[in-house]
Amino acid sequence: MSIIDESGIQKDNENFETNASRANELIKNDNWDTAFKYLKEAVDADPNYAEGFNLLGIYHTRNHNYSEAIENFRKALNINFDLIDAHYNLASLYMEQEEYGMALPHFKEVVLVNPEDSETYNLMGICCAKSGKDEDAKAFFSEALRLQPDNVSAAVNIAKLLIKNNEVAEAKGILLYFIKKDIANFEVHHLLGIVYKTQEDFPRALHHLREAVLEDKNNAEAYNLLGECCVKMNLDKQAESFFVMAARLDTAYLDAYYNLGNLYYNQQKYHDAVLALEEYVRTKEATDFIDSLWSDNESKDGAVPLYNLLGNCYKMINNPVKARAIWEKSLSIQPEQQEIKEAVSGLSQTSQMHKRISLVID
């Protein structure tokens, strides 16, 4: 039987009820693929079935058809703007696609209806932090923690923001709450390691960073930080092991290679330093080439200290040709490096002197 609803759209009520009911039963059993055709039938029978469009959006999200998912979530909200599930689902999808500015207003609709929703405030904070709105992010993370003091995700997020802004004492206070409550995870330990390292309390930093890698054995950054703490405590052998581990876990991790090369350089193990730094350069240049196929905007400034260190290593092992080549790469990125210009000039003079001597011998 067909009826006309108050919007003037024809609705096949019997067909709609059958298909909507069947779709919901299948979804409860996580059988989304079979439910899809019933959902389509249901929204065809009742074009005002907002929840049906929301469920179609979920179906398409699960199948990575994001444009279809967004279209269906929007249809759901056009029919019923108060459908909070559709706001949340659309915002989550925008977050996944890193469209944080698009996600934020939909999360705001969620907390207007559910003002005690700590996790959504946390997600709003992430959107703001990713968009460079640090003060807004801090406010949302703080609200998430006020509503749920044991929300470790919100605590980690606000601590990262505070550390970034050099507010380490405030970050420390938040993180220590979770230590005292014995509910700290590896991220809490990792961040406390950073805090104590910043405060030059290296034994405590080591303790928390070790706890972090015990729970997260693939945490290259934590291994690198462990190495940096060991260097400060004159534990060079342990530092070497940690830097090597960090570099193995992440072959594109510049800091780990630089720290390992610098450790060898300070120990006058110049050949070892060259081997470590050359490995990074090979990896970096291959990665840069691949990245250049998609974008020309990748910043290379971070590699400058590593190139300069490698040039010094080449010089120390009496290989001026390679020293010049790597320093010239550094200068091509940052031309105004007077010290490196002078180093290259010094190589030129040395090379000319060697050439004149060889002519006299001839």
Tell me the per-residue pLDDT of 180-237, one tens digit each, with 9 for 90 and over.
Answer: 999 999 999 999 999 999 999 999 999 999 999 999 999 999 999 999 999 999 999 9
For the residues 298-315, what does the mean pLDDT come to? 86
Q: Residue range 25-39: average pLDDT?
A: 94
Q: Stretch 155-167: mean pLDDT, rounded? A: 96
Comparison of pLDDT for 331 and 300, the residue scoring more? 331
Rounded CA separation 83/106 (Å): 11
> What confidence category does residue 10 fall into, taking pLDDT thresholds of 50, 70 and 90?
very low
pLDDT-above-90 percentage for the chain: 83
pLDDT of amino acid 302? 82
Residue 291's pLDDT band (boundaries 50, 70, 90)?
Answer: low
At residue 6, does pLDDT exceed 50? no
Q: Is residue 170's pLDDT more than 90?
A: yes
The pLDDT of residue 253: 92
Q: Per DSSP, what are the bridge partners of residue 11? A: 3
Residue among 171, 177, 173 at smallest CA distance from 158: 171
Tokens of 332: 């091509």
Dist CA 70 CA 91 (whole Å):
10
* Tokens (6 digits) for 338: 């007077």
- Counting other chains too, the contacts that 242-246 makes at CB distance below 8 Å and 24 or more residues apart are 245/220, 246/220, 246/221
Q: Which of 144-158, 160-174, 286-300 has the lowest mean pLDDT?
A: 286-300
Q: Which residue in 164, 175, 221, 223 sits closest to 198, CA to CA?
A: 164
Residue 265 CA to residue 231 CA, distance in Å, equals 13
For position 4, what pLDDT does the model report? 43
Residue with structure tokens 């206070």?
Answer: 173
Does position 100 have pLDDT exceeding 90, yes or no?
yes
Query: What is the pLDDT averaged over residues 276-280?
Result: 92
Helix (H) or strand (E) holding 196: helix 186-198
Residue 292 has pLDDT above 80, yes or no: no
pLDDT at residue number 14: 72
**Does residue 322 register a pLDDT over 50?**
yes
- Average pLDDT over every residue of 144-165: 97
Residue 343's pLDDT is what? 93
pLDDT at 8 over 70: no
- How far from each other are the two terminal CA atoms of the chain, in whole angstroms? 109
Using pLDDT thresholds of 50, 70 and 90, give the confidence band for residue 295: low
